[in-house]
């Protein structure tokens, strides 16, 4: 998953402590909201937020504070892996896995009927023997699409719905894609070119219409 949405597109890559803290806070907020949604209004499923092995102490503390008593928070570094028995009704949300052992644990939990009801990985990458299982499905995705240095659209996915390109200005659905047509082979990474093309064409159509209306 490519999350979370941030106020500024460079926040994940400018290297500043402030940006790092903003991305960390947004990740925690998203995971807690996701956990509460997956648990349901009546608490139908137990939800455990698994914090990756290399996550910082501040990230863990922020997650524990934000989750409150509604969602259990477990650090793979401090607490170790969850019990593989008797958790069939549990939904695990694994955030920011960083080592192959994190991914192997997620795969083991998902494949064991006695260990978990479902496993959701947030901000996992690729699909191979060292990362996300090839059997995994990209459930949630959000990415801004840029054209002429402006946000022209978004590519979103909410499983089981299709991958959807949305116009940034009109919120119009520009097109949809399935896994077979958009994912780079043997990965869970979408090829953005088709969605960017749709968004840029919509951007150009609006620009042309605006010029014609102005008599230019």
**CA dist., res. 165 & res. 172, Å (int):** 9
**CA dist., res. 204 & res. 107, Å (int):** 44
Output the tens digit of pLDDT for each of the chain's 216 residues.
445 556 555 545 555 677 777 778 888 888 888 888 888 655 567 889 999 898 888 889 989 998 877 788 999 999 988 877 766 778 899 987 888 999 999 988 888 877 778 888 987 777 777 788 878 888 888 888 999 889 999 999 988 899 999 999 999 999 999 999 999 887 888 999 999 999 999 999 988 998 888 887
**CA dist., res. 189 & res. 125, Å (int):** 8
Q: Tell me, what's the pLDDT at 132?
A: 84
**CA dist., res. 101 & res. 71, Å (int):** 23
CATH 3.40.1010 placement within the chain? 9-122
Sheet with 140-147, strands from edge to edge, namely 140-147, 150-158, 163-167, 173-177
The pTM score is: 0.74
Quick one: which of 40, 8, 32 has its CA closest to 22?
Answer: 8
Cis geometry, peptide bond prior to residue 71 (ω within 30 degrees of 0): no
Q: Tell me, what's the pLDDT at 203?
A: 93
Angle between helical axes of 57-67 and 17-39 (0-180°, round to 10): 40
Half-sphere exposure of 136 (CA within 13 A, CB side): 30
**CA dist., res. 61 & res. 56, Å (int):** 9
Q: Which residues contact 7 (CB under 8 A, 6 or more apart)?
A: 22
Q: Tell me, what's the pLDDT at 26?
A: 83
- Specify the CATH class of 9-122 in words: alpha beta
């Amino acid at each position: 998953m490519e999350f979370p949405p941030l106020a500024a597109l460079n926040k994940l890559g400018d290297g500043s402590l402030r940006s790092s803290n903003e991305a960390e806070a947004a990740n925690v907020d998203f995971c807690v909201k996701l956990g509460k949604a997956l648990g349901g209004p009546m608490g139908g499923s137990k939800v455990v937020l698994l914090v990756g092995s290399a996550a910082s102490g501040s990230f863990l503390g922020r997650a524990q504070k934000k989750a409150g008593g509604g969602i259990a928070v477990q650090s793979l570094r401090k607490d170790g892996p969850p019990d593989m028995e008797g958790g069939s009704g549990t939904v695990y949300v694994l955030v920011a896995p960083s080592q192959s052992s994190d991914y192997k644990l997620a795969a083991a939990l998902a494949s064991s009927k006695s260990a978990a009801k479902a496993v959701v990985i947030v901000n996992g990458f690729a699909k191979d023997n060292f990362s996300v299982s090839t059997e995994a499905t990209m459930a949630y995705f959000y990415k801004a699409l840029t054209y002429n240095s402006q946000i022209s659209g978004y590519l979103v996915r909410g499983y089981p719905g299709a991958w959807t390109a949305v116009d940034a200005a009109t919120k119009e659905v520009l097109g949809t894609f399935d896994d077979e047509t958009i994912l780079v082979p043997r990965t869970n990474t979408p090829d953005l070119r088709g969605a960017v093309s749709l968004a840029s064409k919509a951007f150009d159509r609006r620009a042309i219409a605006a010029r014609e209306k102005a008599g230019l």
